[in-house]
Chain A
Amino acid sequence: EAGVVQSPRYKIIEKKQPVAFWCNPISGHNTLYWYLQNLGQGPELLIRYENEEAVDDSQLPKDRFSAERLKGVDSTLKIQPAELGDSAVYLCASSAGAWGNAEETQYFGPGTRLLVL
């Protein structure tokens, strides 16, 4: 079974440019998560989707970040415009169960490493 797929794996852009990350979750997983991981830190949740609905986006900086999960499968996370402080790893994860199931295991993708110059 294929795991969570993310692309690109690496991205280097200049500040003020837009950037987009793509995630394909494990087949059949209803819940999808986007995390931000700064160097030397643990992942921090940006947004969680239950099918196509964003059920928790309280940590998403909505002035420059946006996300969508059309058709409840693939998801795209966008930053426009990017700032120097956005340099980090952006992780996508998925889980099979419904929102609120405390014992659902999250499966993570390899992440996209973003460098903003």
Chain B
Amino acid sequence: SQQGEEDPQALSIQEGENATMNCSYKTSINNLQWYRQNSGRGLVHLILIRSNEREKHSGRLRVTLDTSKKSSSLLITASRAADTASYFCATNSGANSKLTFGKGITLSVRP
């Protein structure tokens, strides 16, 4: 079963614009992670935010976490055509630290 649900399912923006993607989950977590998957390639880890953190930055990425609402958002600023990919949120939960992925968001950045 998949715990995370991303929103929207697909997003199309112009290069230079910001892209915001949301993720909701159902059970308590150890942390939440975002991954990117380019067409035909494996997943690449982008950023991890712990359950006791509210915001984290990494380059052009900004992640927020609201555990009271069980939701997270990923903001990509100043998007580039190379950011075109599928983005997945994954929740790490339980004593065995199992990673559970959502269905993903397809981001298209138009040049």
Task: Decide yes or no whether A65 CB sits under 8 A from chain B.
Answer: no
A-contacting 9-mer, from B13-21, B37-45, B55-63, B70-78: B37-45
Task: Decide yes or no whether B30 CB sits under 8 A from chain A.
Answer: yes
B76 to chain A, nearest CB (A): 19
Determine the distance from Cα of A43 to Cα of B4 in the docked complex, in whole angstroms: 12
Q: Tell me whether A105 and B95 are in contact (CB under 8 A).
A: no
Report how many residues on chain B are interfacial, defined by Cβ distance under 8 Å.
Answer: 25
Q: Which residues of A contact B67 (CB under 8 A)?
A: none
Task: Decide yes or no whether A22 CB sits under 8 A from chain B.
Answer: no
Task: Decide yes or no whether B68 CB sits under 8 A from chain A.
Answer: no
Task: Decide yes or no whether B65 CB sits under 8 A from chain A.
Answer: no
Task: Decide yes or no whether B88 CB sits under 8 A from chain A.
Answer: yes
Q: Tell me whether B30 and A102 are in contact (CB under 8 A).
A: yes
Task: Decide yes or no whether B98 CB sits under 8 A from chain A.
Answer: yes
Task: Decide yes or no whether B85 CB sits under 8 A from chain A.
Answer: no
Interface string of B83-111 (1 = CB under 8 A from A): 00000101010011111111110000000
Given A105-B48, A108-B44, is A44 in contact with B101 using a C-beta cutoff of 8 Å?
yes
B47 to chain A, nearest CB (A): 10
Q: Which residues of B contact A56 (CB under 8 A)?
A: 96, 98
Task: Decide yes or no whether A25 CB sits under 8 A from chain B.
Answer: no
